[in-house]
């Protein structure tokens, strides 16, 4: 593949090795194992002397297309695909940490990521400390001799806070830790964490990479050493691999990623501007607004502001639920990054498993609504929200 090609071209053309059937569109290989020409061929492939497919838990051509394409788009040497976004995070932790090691994690990561660390990773003797995403002093002060991993999501869910990835990677590396960035909200179409110093990029492919709310999946991108060898090794033994069908859905999703992200961004900015003028809305969270605390950083670190807009409705939880329940077109669902606009009450759903104290620390108020702005006509999205706010 020509390295000079630009993002949209690479998203459509990279990663596909055409087979002898000369297919134009990427093929799905629904097979659990692969056959060998002889016992000697099998032995050579098992020993690693010969490259080649052995078994679906190790490699599958369709999964390979997705991995190669996403690696190119993120600018990483290697990518491994996983069965979900959460298994991508788990695989990174299993691959890079051992008992006695320490993780510093942003307080405003995806709710289930917090649950994974607090309820399960701790059990294995790994220490975890949580800090404010945007407060670099807190990250610096949290570093201990056994710190091995920094984990952050930027922009954060649902409040769209943004951390300076370059500065955070410097702090991580000074402390002898790797920096992993969950790039779910921006995707490589809007932000490339590896080019800003991050060591690992984590994805929930379930969101924008699919883009149509069809499949669960995830991925980790980074160096051959860290991702190809270490994270890939855990997947081959742990088995949280992506199915060929889901990989194919993501391969096709990537082809329109740039186009879709530009459209998501355009409607989200219009919606954020409209909401900030609305008398029933007390606060709007969107990096494209000039009063967003990291608006300037977003302009340099990202090439777009993303498709997620959160806002606080004047009043209490009931007022907020009324806005959600009055919509006729928006889907009340926890997914995001879909062509369909979705609306969620984070405090009682995605972040409902956090304690009240953890929610308060993360700034998730009871009157907060999150909208993942889809690809429907903007006027219809706006009018659907206007009804409940009226
Ligand atoms: C959804 C999500 C995840 C988890 O991904 P799954 O595919 O649902 O396992 C992780 N991080 C972020 C930011 C997400 O939005």
199-219 pLDDT per residue, tens: 999 999 999 999 999 999 999
**pLDDT the model gives residue 139:** 98
Distance CA 322, CA 327 (A): 9
Instruction: Specify whether 266 is located in the same domain as 169.
Output: no
Cβ of 277: how many Cβ atoms within 10 Å? 8
CA of 86 to the centre of ligand 1 (A): 6
Please, which residues bridge with residue 147 across strands?
A: 102
- Domain assignment present for residue 2? The answer is no
Instruction: Specify whether 291 is located in the same domain as 167.
Output: no
- Domain assignment present for residue 349? The answer is yes
Last residue of some domain: 225, 254, 283?
254
Radius of gyration, CA atoms only, the chain: 21
State yes or no: pLDDT of 285 exceeds 90.
yes
Which residue in 183, 264, 255 sits closest to 218, CA to CA?
183
Mean pLDDT of all residues in 60-84 = 98
State yes or no: pLDDT of 291 exceeds 70.
yes
Atom of ligand 1 nearest to the CA of 337: 15
CA of 210 to the centre of ligand 1 (A): 12
Instruction: Specify whether 242 is located in the same domain as 329.
Output: no
**pLDDT the model gives residue 355:** 82
Burial of 233 (0-12, 13-18, 19+ CB in 10 A): middle
CA of 181 to the centre of ligand 1 (A): 12
**pLDDT the model gives residue 357:** 84
Instruction: Specify whether 205 is located in the same domain as 329.
Output: no
CB of 218 within 6 A of ligand 1: the answer is yes
Instruction: Specify whether 336 is located in the same domain as 234.
Output: no
CA of 82 to the centre of ligand 1 (A): 12
Q: What residues make up the domain containing 69?
A: 7-254
Indicate yes or no: pTM above 0.75: yes
CB of 157 within 6 A of ligand 1: the answer is yes
CB of 15 within 6 A of ligand 1: the answer is no
Mean pLDDT of all residues in 273-294 = 97
Atom of ligand 1 nearest to the CA of 217: 7
Instruction: Specify whether 201 is located in the same domain as 249.
Output: yes
Per-residue pLDDT tens over the stretch 8-60: 999 999 999 999 999 999 999 999 999 999 999 999 999 999 999 999 999 99
**pLDDT the model gives residue 55:** 96
Residues 6+ apart with CB under 8 A from 251: 15, 16, 26, 62, 65, 66, 69
Last residue of some domain: 230, 254, 278?
254
CB of 267 within 6 A of ligand 1: the answer is no
Range of weakest confidence among 69-83, 110-124, 131-145, 204-218: 110-124
Range of weakest confidence among 86-90, 314-318, 331-335, 348-352: 348-352
Instruction: Specify whether 281 is located in the same domain as 247.
Output: no
CB of 260 within 6 A of ligand 1: the answer is no
Distance CA 267, CA 260 (A): 11
CB of 84 within 6 A of ligand 1: the answer is yes
State yes or no: pLDDT of 2 exceeds 80.
no
CATH code assigned at 264: 3.90.1150.10
Instruction: Specify whether 200 is located in the same domain as 64.
Output: yes
Instruction: Specify whether 105 is located in the same domain as 35.
Output: yes
Last residue of some domain: 254, 271, 288?
254
The string of DSSP codes covering 41-52 is HHHHHHHTSS--
Q: How many domains does the chain have?
A: 2
Instruction: Specify whether 230 is located in the same domain as 282.
Output: no
Instruction: Specify whether 242 is located in the same domain as 310.
Output: no
Mean pLDDT of all residues in 254-264 = 98
Q: Do residues 202 and 74 touch, judged by C-beta distance below 8 A?
A: no
CB of 222 within 6 A of ligand 1: the answer is no
Banded model confidence at residue 351, pLDDT cuts 50, 70, 90: confident
Give, using CA atoms, the residue closest to atom 2 of ligand 1: 204
CB of 346 within 6 A of ligand 1: the answer is no
State yes or no: pLDDT of 360 exceeds 90.
no
Banded model confidence at residue 144, pLDDT cuts 50, 70, 90: very high
- Domain assignment present for residue 1? The answer is no
Mean pLDDT of all residues in 95-111 = 95
State yes or no: pLDDT of 167 exceeds 90.
yes
Give, using CA atoms, the residue closest to atom 12 of ligand 1: 110
Banded model confidence at residue 61, pLDDT cuts 50, 70, 90: very high
Burial of 274 (0-12, 13-18, 19+ CB in 10 A): middle
**pLDDT the model gives residue 16:** 93
CA of 110 to the centre of ligand 1 (A): 7
CB of 350 within 6 A of ligand 1: the answer is no
Instruction: Specify whether 168 is located in the same domain as 299.
Output: no
CATH code assigned at 139: 3.40.640.10
């Amino acid at each position: 593949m020509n390295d000079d090609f630009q993002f949209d071209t690479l998203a459509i053309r990279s990663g596909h090795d055409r087979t002898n059937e000369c297919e134009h569109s990427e093929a799905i290989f629904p097979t659990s194992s692969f056959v060998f020409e002889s016992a000697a061929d099998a032995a050579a492939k098992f020993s690693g002397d010969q490259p080649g497919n052995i078994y679906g838990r190790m490699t599958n051509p369709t999964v390979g297309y997705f991995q190669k394409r996403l690696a190119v788009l993120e600018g990483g040497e290697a990518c491994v695909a996983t069965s979900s976004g959460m298994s991508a995070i788990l695989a990174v932790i299993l691959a890079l940490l051992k008992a006695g090691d320490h993780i510093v994690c942003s307080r405003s990561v995806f709710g289930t990521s917090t649950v994974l660390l607090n309820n399960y990773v701790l059990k294995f003797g790994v220490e975890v400390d949580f800090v404010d995403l945007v407060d670099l002093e807190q990250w610096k002060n949290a570093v201990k001799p056994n710190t091995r991993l920094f984990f952050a999501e930027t922009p954060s869910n649902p409040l769209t806070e943004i951390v300076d990835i370059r500065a955070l990677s410097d702090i991580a590396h000074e402390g002898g830790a790797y920096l992993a960035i969950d790039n779910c909200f921006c995707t490589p179409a809007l932000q490339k964490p590896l080019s800003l110093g991050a060591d690992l990029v984590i994805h929930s492919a379930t969101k924008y990479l699919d883009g149509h709310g069809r499949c669960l999946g995830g991925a980790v991108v980074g160096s051959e050493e860290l991702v190809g060898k270490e994270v890939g090794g855990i997947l081959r033994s742990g088995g949280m691999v992506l199915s060929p069908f889901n990989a194919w859905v993501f391969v096709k999703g990537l082809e329109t990623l740039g186009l879709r992200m530009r459209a998501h961004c355009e409607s989200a900015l219009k919606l954020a501007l409209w909401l900030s003028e609305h008398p029933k809305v007390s606060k709007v969270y969107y990096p494209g607004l000039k009063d967003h605390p990291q608006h300037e950083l977003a302009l340099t670190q990202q090439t777009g502001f993303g498709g997620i807009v959160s806002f606080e409705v004047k009043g209490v939880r009931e007022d907020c639920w009324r806005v959600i329940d009055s919509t006729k077109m928006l889907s009340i669902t926890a997914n995001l990054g879909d062509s369909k606009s979705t609306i969620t009450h984070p405090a009682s759903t995605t972040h409902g498993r956090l304690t009240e104290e953890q929610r308060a620390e993360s700034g998730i108020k009871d009157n907060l609504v999150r909208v993942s702005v889809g690809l429907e006509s903007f006027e219809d999205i706006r009018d659907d929200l206007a009804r409940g706010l009226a």
